[in-house]
Structure 1
């Protein structure tokens, strides 16, 4: 290809066209494409490349601890979950409506997996997502008060279209933590969606918060537009571990024979 053309394409930041130009030119010659057909192919390549780059950037900024897709989730192991309802959540209509979701169940039942997988669906649809644990967020907010970056941190947690808060109830919150948690919930109320995962049944959530008045205010705002998914199954991780131990025992016995 003409070097000056490539330089101009780089100056215009048309990296999608640069990647496919040689292939598309060969295709155009072999298929006798018109100028407009050739041009349309190049424009589509550029659009697709920008979408992919944007998706990669949003995924990176989301801070997912793992890449867990909905297709990988074992619904057969948790038959009490309404699969259709989960896939309806994965359309991210709740994000558009600025509603909330709560995944509640014992440890190891896939709450975080589902939260991440729906977060990935939201990223793919162009939404800004942020994943964090409740304790990590509150620790960051607490530290930010010392260097006067508190309001900047508040914006960090309130700006995304979807905020995923993992492990609510792992630790009981103190007064400062509850104050900060209330700030996040109240600022996001009807302005942005939240997914919360918790191993505490909803009736126990009020006990997590130090201040009963703030607890009521927090729960009232979060629950107002909320979809609850309660998982009552056994721990998938424990089941996997039992399977590994059983397999090792059987292997050991066969070697002894």
Structure 2
């Protein structure tokens, strides 16, 4: 028992958290199955590596800030106006991400833009990419406060190292010239280094109305549309078609 406790303390000092709690069980199993010393060590290290992979995945998912509905399995591709299943499967291969392509999901509210963008972001995170989901409002708050707020500064630094950034509901909020400038410089900084998925119910021609500056809008579009797939979604709002009522359970 003294040897076991010593090994546990050594594991703690080496920060082998997963191994610390499994040493005894794995040692008993090794003895019962007659495992070699090398096989026993391999299983110990496998246990630690698997735990680290799991915790790293959890950290990256938390940092991504995904909305509740982010599983592409829930997306209904059967309806004619939705993204066909074959095209969705092609997007899930993420070759566009490796090639620094952007995706613009355009269409009315409720047509699945957020679910698709969040699902692709989650898929990227699962496959080891640094991917983040932010609404346009959240992103603008980060850009406005990064020089005065520690949390915003850390999030901004995280985004500048991203391989994929989802900007949800782009052009939903009006911006003054200073904010439009900050947004352009953010996109310009990451141009051809980071892929973007943008969801919007405004056509690129309408963006100038929100940004209020034709020169900035033209420069922004020049960068975003250079390597870009525009996916037009249509149809009625999924939320309205599947809305729930508080009266449904009343007899």
TM-score clears 0.5 = yes
Out of 236, 239, 247, which is 2:238 matched to? 236
Moved more, 205-214 or 192-201: 205-214
**Of residues 70, 73, 76 in structure 1, which corresponds to 2:75?**
73
The number of aligned residues is: 248
C-alpha distance in structure 2 between counterparts of 1:158 and 1:94, whole Å: 19
Alignment CA distance shift 1:6-1:123 (3 Å): same
TM-score, structure 2 as length reference? 0.87
Retained in 2: the 8 A contact 1:154–1:184? no
Q: What is aligned with 1:63? A: 65
Distance apart, 1:164 and its partner CA: 1.3
Tell me the CA shift for residue 180 of structure 1.
Answer: 1.1
Q: Which runs of 5+ in 1 are unaligned?
A: none
Residues 1:21 and 2:23 aligned together: yes
TM-score by length of 1: 0.85
Give the SS at the match of 1:109: coil
Shift of 1:247: 7.9
Higher helix share: 1
User: Which residue of structure 2 lines up, in the alignment, with residue 165 of structure 1?
Assistant: 167
SS at match of 1:207: helix
Matches within 5 A, 1:219-234: 219-234=221-236
Output aligned runs, 1:1-257, within 5 Å: 2-66=4-68, 68-77=70-79, 80-144=82-146, 147=148, 155-241=157-243, 244-245=244-245, 248=248, 255=251
CA RMSD of aligned residues (A): 2.6
Q: Tell me the secondary structure at the aligned position of residue 76 of structure 1.
A: coil
Structure 2 residue runs without a partner (length 5+) = none
Are the equivalent residues in 2 in contact too, given 1:141–1:153 (CA < 8 A)? no
Contact preservation (8 Å) 1:77, 1:236: no
Q: Deviations over 1:8-28 (max 9, x none)?
A: 011111122224333333332
Partners in 1 of 2:125 and 2:67 — Cα distance?
Answer: 15
Conserved 8 A contact 2:143-2:183 = no
8 Å contact kept, 1:162–1:195: yes
Q: Deviations over 1:221-253 (max 9, x none)?
A: 001111222211221110111xx34982xx65x
